Amino acid sequence: MTFRSSEVRRGLAGCLWGLTACGVLGGLLVAAIALPAVGGAGITTNTVTHLFIDLPPSPREDPLPERTILLDRNGKQFAQFYTENRKIVKLDQVAPAMRQAIVAIEDSRFYEHAGLDIKGTLRALVTNTQAGGVRQGGSSLTQQLVKNILVESAETDAERDRAREPSLRRKITELRYALAMEDKYSKAEILERYLNIAYFGAGAFGVEAAAQRFFSVSAADLTLKQAATLAGAVRTPYSTDPSLGPQRRHRLRERRDIVLDRMAQLGDIPVAQAEAVKRTPLDIRMRPEPGGCAGSAYPYFCLYVHKELVTNPAFGPTRAARERLLARGGIVLRTTLDPTAQRAAQHAVSSHVSPKDTEVAAEAMVEPGTGRIRAMTASKRYGVNSGNARNGPSTTYNLPADMAHGGGQGFQAGSTFKAFTLATALARGWRFDDGFMTPGRFVPSGGYFDCRGHRVNDPRSQIFNASGEGSGGPQSISTGTWKSVNIFYMMLERRVGLCQVVKTAKALGVVRADGTPLREVPTFTLGVNEMDPVTVAAAFAAFGARGRYCRPMAIVDIVERDGTHVPVPPSCVQAIERDVADAVNHVLSGVFSKGTMTGQDIGRDAAGKTGTNNGYTSAWFAGYTPDLAAAVSVGDIRGAYRYPLRDVTIGGEYYGQVQGASLPGPIWVSSMEAALRDVEASSFHHPDMSRFGGGYTPGMDKLLEAEKKRDGRNGGGDGDGGADGQDAGEPDERHSLGADHGYRGGRAHWRKPRHQQRQQQPHRRQRHHRPGPGHRAR
């Protein structure tokens, strides 16, 4: 016979006013009220009567924490986040044996009572007393559900403690809520909620996660033996946790056998079947359920998604709301990750740089026209150092990304920034062959203004080209780019306007890796700002998309708990004119055929720019096709200035000095070839020659004639920007120009007065100790 809670409440009321007719129930309540603790709390027969007649609403049920699943572009899971490993399922997705087992051991009269089972409570009391331990629970299954709900919905430790405290007051509260829930839900709905909220041990919350964790099967496929095992774990999930060793597994087997005996006693299964199952081992097949990014095959991309979810207002009005979304989980994030591109990048990086090296390479790939990040990787293993890592120390910095996405301070981008000056010049009417005579050395003593209109000249500095003071001569937009000539670009930046170059860079999404304002100084075009590969790749992707810049994105679709799809569209803007982008592509394509990357190409239309920093502190290559862009950085993770890339062995290969074309360039070529192997080649649009063709550079005819007679030496390339003269051996005191190393070798020099170096040393030493994969330049 099944009672509704309203009938129970009427019975309780009559019982409390007429104790002689109450039997067992009256005796229990009178004994409870007579307890000193209850009397001291002011609970009387009258107040208890009202407690059970005037019930509160059922307890507030917040969505249970679930796993947040990350899928690649093909729909395959590569990571998951969770505070509680749980996947909610419907009752019909749970094997009948599991439903029978949990009811048998936890509340065999579940389908007969209305939330309070006095008979079951007394029976459990007698059974447990005779056994000398807990064999059966006294609370109804509905009461257990209430307790779990109160614990889950608690927002403070004090609330959680109250929900667990062993007091009659707490038991009465649970009972009142249980009666209310019995009025609100059917028995099937209560059982479903219980199976999804219960903790089974080994980090598994809910029956689906427990089935997968313990036996590597779904809840729908649980056998009788497996169901009895899980049902036995609920009562003491910590002391029966099979992941904690053989002693705990022995206890779990004992609990399983108790469940089987109880099911046989109730007639749910034949006694012979119960005995047969009891003679078999547990057959636990623990399945790892790694959470977070350290356990992912693509940890850097995973970390970017995690940070994007909590920092981007598109995913919630406040950071607290976004963090709650992530913590409560239950959503599926479809990401932009391309497994083919990701494997290509990982293989290329690991083939050139060992995880044991203190030097680190990082790469990001971005799709032009959408901003979708296709790959992110680094040569270092991601995770917390364990002290016995065979592949060298790991890192918890997201090396391909900026600080906002878990990265460090980045590395100076070097001559990759010349692309922004090039785009500015072309937009302002310069033609491919326009140029001017360049001196052998250059002092930025006038004509530079930042975007606030302030003069930012530096008359105390000197800049040289790769081969020193004698390397002056005529250069054009084209040759100055292909050979990455420092002085030419310093002068070009002054002619088109430093602020205009800065505005072009900003329009293409350029921001410093550490989130501070860009340094608007004369050497901006030489790449003095520290950058991250994702930002640089996205900026160069805009050239491949004919000037359309798209904010880097890692999430394209969110599937909410109820199955609703929330698409995340690209965030794009036409940053520069299409014709200007076509012209930039035309010039930067020459870097592969006539410039610093001569002899290295990928067999399709491609453009890019090398970058080698002052003193060889770091090196870059950023390049793109119409289909994919990528940026590669290399530097010492211990600090770029203290550990320049000179006389180093990286990936088993010795380098006298690492240049943009000697290590980042080959990594880029290898990764892009593999990533685009099955992608039909696209071509750049031909530039408007009526607008950009031709032009004039004084002395260019003589220069071209002289180059035909050269014996392989080249004086037009830019160099490492190292200190001149006696300061050449003191890299920590040098100002980093961020200049790209030369076309075919040589050095560039920069000199600052000694007194200024000494004044700024203490500040620089302090910065050297800041965390991150690189150090800030002056």
User: What distance in Å separates the CA atoms of residue 306 and residue 406, rounded to the nearest whole number?
Assistant: 9
Q: What are phi and psi of 356, to 5 degrees?
A: -80, -20
Sign of the Cα torsion 512, 513, 514, 515 reads positive
DSSP 61: -
Sign of the Cα torsion 485, 491, 493, 496 reads negative
User: What distance in Å separates the CA atoms of residue 726 and residue 647, rounded to the nearest whole number?
Assistant: 20
Task: Enter the tokens of residue 71.
Answer: 């899928």
Strand partners, 442: 463
pLDDT at 302 over 60: yes
User: What's residue 743's pLDDT?
Assistant: 27
User: What's residue 389's pLDDT?
Assistant: 58
Q: Is the fold of 85-278 the same as that of 409-537+579-656+701-768?
A: no
Q: Does domain 85-278 have CATH number 1.10.3720.10?
A: no
Domain positions in the chain are 5-53, 85-278, 409-537+579-656+701-768
pLDDT in tens, 116-168: 776 655 565 556 556 555 445 458 899 999 999 998 888 788 878 887 877 77
pLDDT in tens, 652-683: 999 999 999 999 999 999 999 999 999 999 99
Determine which of 219-223, 587-591, 701-705 has the lowest per-residue pLDDT on average.
701-705
* CATH annotation of 409-537+579-656+701-768: 3.40.710
The dihedral region occupied by 23, where left means phi > 0, alpha psi between -120 and 50, and beta the remainder, is: left
pLDDT in tens, 684-721: 999 999 999 988 888 766 655 655 554 343 333 444 33
Question: What amino acid is encoded at 69 in this protein?
Answer: I
Question: Greatest CA span in the chain, whole angstroms?
Answer: 121
DSSP sequence for 378-432? ESSPBS---S--TT---B-S-TTS-GGGT--S-EE-GGGGHHHHHHHHHHTT--T
Is residue 664 within 8 A of residue 536, CB to CB? The reply is no
CA angle 165, 201, 197 (to 5 degrees): 65
Residue 493: how many other CB atoms lie within 10 Å: 27
Q: What are phi and psi of 397, to 5 degrees?
A: -90, 140
User: What's residue 437's pLDDT?
Assistant: 93
Q: Give the mean model confidence (pLDDT) for residues 773-777.
A: 30
pLDDT in tens, 56-70: 788 888 889 999 999
Residue 334: how many other CB atoms lie within 10 Å: 20
